[in-house]
Chain A
């Protein structure tokens, strides 16, 4: 027990937990994004895809519990890190500048995080924990995104997710100790691609559904 407490409770251990869970969440988002693309194939294709997913019991439930656990660990450890880091500098600087290195992403991790959490709750209430027996999921989406305010909300949320990933992606590799002049530039570029792919990819569906109405 002592070993677990020390390894996972140390500053680096907590960062490792952030990195492992963060990587899994990125993986989930990638799968989610591929699923979203089914919607471009039309209502029937998307509804069939959703039905197929839901028929995969009990695996879907197991997957969802796992995902929720990963998310919870990510949020709890992230919150602990945030407050510990706040405490580590009790007196603030009068003037504080970036000597280089800091980015919009790294600067805003805890804040983008809170906004993402708020979005996830809203998103689940909107599309997961609703009665889908009467209206198929595709129709639910298209009625939601007929309203430009929902479209705007989703697009803004996806920009926020992209900003979180813009730091998170390369950062998780650094945390795992994967940093070498030979391939760090590649990881950085990959992070940029993932950032834009997620941002544009996820935002495109609400916009598309709005435009085709």
Chain B
């Protein structure tokens, strides 16, 4: 354990009253920040002060605060979830910053992610893509035997790597084109790898692609920034699998989206 230290920082944070407001940056000096606090705790600390001063607190999304739910997210100094490798903003700690730092905090920016308030964005477009095909249909009846379908260890592992996606939207936020390909490909890849997902594989990839395009995300141009910003380190090899699944479905599948 490092010793307790407090630092003074300057926060340049995006403030926006609502979806229709134009929004602006506000510069706020935050003094006496405990370096053991997390980034979100620093915001809590600041918000309590703002409330006591009769000012509007800074709104931000969060839930589990342990990097598993995917609810939190903001761009810190130009990188979604901050510069830490493989972590969400709720896992980012103030010990990563120095006394006197100016920290710029912005919401995830994309046409498909409308700002709701301050740092909160509407990511329901990601839900819509999942609803379009990111599932397997299971008939009712007795629960199937868990071991009835053998799955190769390497496939199970790779499917698990894809399933690690928490749907936070950092890939969209960091992509120069605001493309959602890493997110969408993670789900397509996960289900394409598993025998349970195969029967609907062709429909799935085309339906999810169609919905993704409809939501207004950009086109992937293989910058690879997404896999580097991803808190779960989802790899672009899943995007490659998405592309293969697309070719398969488009060329030999009979399904028309």
A residues near B, CB below 8 A? 2-3, 6-7, 10-16, 81, 84-85, 87-102, 106-107, 109, 167, 170-171, 174-181, 184
Give the distance to chain A from B158, nearest Cβ to Cβ, in Å: 11
Q: Which 6 A-B pairs have the closest CB atoms?
A: A101-B224, A88-B218, A97-B78, A177-B244, A100-B228, A179-B240
When C-beta atoms are compared, the residue in chain B nearest to A90 turns out to be B111
Residues 59-118 of B contacting A (Cβ, < 8 Å): 75, 77-80, 83, 104, 106, 109-112
| Cross-interface CB contact of A101 among B223, B237, B239, cutoff 8 Å | B223
Contacts of B224 in A (CB 8 A): 100-102, 106
Spell out B's residues near A (CB within 8 Å).
Answer: 12, 25, 75, 77-80, 83, 104, 106, 109-112, 174, 176-179, 181, 206, 209-210, 212-213, 216-229, 236-237, 239-247, 250, 256-257
State whether A99 touches B247 (Cβ < 8 A). no
CA–CA, A37 to B220, complex, Å? Answer: 37
Chain B nearest CB from A78 CB (Å) reads: 10
Taking a contact as CB atoms under 8 Å apart, the answer to whether A95 and B210 are in contact is: no
Known: A6-B257, A176-B243. A85 touches B223 (CB 8 A): no
**Cα(A181)–Cα(B240), bound, Å:** 11
Contact B209 A177 (CB under 8 A): no
Cross-interface CB contact of B242 among A12, A84, A94, A178, cutoff 8 Å: A12
Contacts of B216 in A (CB 8 A): 87-88
A177 to B9, CA, bound (A): 45
| Residues A85 and B78 in contact in the complex (CB < 8 Å), given A99-B174, A174-B240 | no
Which listed residue, A7, A91, A171, A175, touches B109 by the CB 8 Å rule? A91
Nearest chain B residue, comparing its CB with the CB of A167? B222
Return the contact of A93 from the options B78, B112, B256 (Cβ within 8 A): B78
Asked if residues A106 and B221 are in contact (CB atoms below 8 Å), the reply is yes
Contact of A87 among B111, B227, B250 (CB under 8 A): B111
For the A-B complex with A88-B179, A174-B236, A177-B242 known, give 11 more contacts whose Cβ atoms are closer than 8 Å: A16-B247, A84-B219, A94-B12, A97-B77, A99-B79, A99-B83, A106-B223, A174-B239, A174-B240, A177-B244, A184-B237
- Considering only CB atoms, which chain A residue lies closest to B76 in the complex? A95
Find out whether the CB atom of B240 lies under 8 angstroms from the CB atom of A177.
Answer: yes
Q: Per a CB cutoff under 8 Å, which of B12, B219, B223, B244 touches A11? A: B219
Residues of B within 8 A of A99 (CB): 79-80, 83, 174, 225, 228-229
Contact of B75 among A6, A90, A93, A106 (CB under 8 A): A93
Closest residue of chain A to B206 (Cβ to Cβ) is A6
Residues of A contacting B237 in the complex (Cβ-Cβ under 8 angstroms): 179-181, 184
How close is B170's CB to chain A, nearest CB, in angstroms?
A: 9
Contact call B225/A101, Cβ cutoff below 8 A: yes
A16 to chain B, nearest CB (A): 8
Q: Would A11 and B236 be within 8 Å (CB), given that A88-B112, A89-B178, A177-B243 are in contact?
A: no
Nearest Cβ in chain B — how far from A172, in angstroms? Answer: 9
Closest Cβ of chain A to B9, distance in Å, is 15
A175 touches B243 (CB 8 A): yes
B245 contacts which chain A residues (CB < 8 A)?
177
Chain B residues whose CB sits within 8 angstroms of the CB of A171 once the complex forms = 221-222
Is A11 a contact of B256 with CB atoms below 8 Å?
Answer: no
Most buried by A among B106, B222, B237, B244: B222
CB distance from B95 to the nearest CB of A (A): 20
Query: Given A12-B243, A93-B75, A179-B240, are A98 and B221 also a contact pair (CB < 8 Å)?
Result: no
Asked whether B79 lies within 8 Å of A85 as measured between CB atoms, the reply is: no
| Residue pair A15, B104 in contact (C-beta under 8 Å) | no
Residue in B25, B112, B250 whose beta carbon sits within 8 Å of that of A7 in the complex: B250
CB neighbours of A184 from chain B (8 A): 237
Q: How far is the CB of B96 from chain A (nearest CB, A)?
A: 14
Give the residue name and chain of the B residue nearest to A184 (CB). Answer: B237
Provide the residues of chain B in CB contact with A89, threshold 8 Å.
109-111, 176-178, 218
Task: Tell me the complex Cα distance, A170–B222, Å.
Answer: 9
Q: How far is the CA of A93 from the CA of B79 in the complex (A)?
A: 10
- Distance between A13 CB and nearest chain B CB, rounded to angstroms: 8
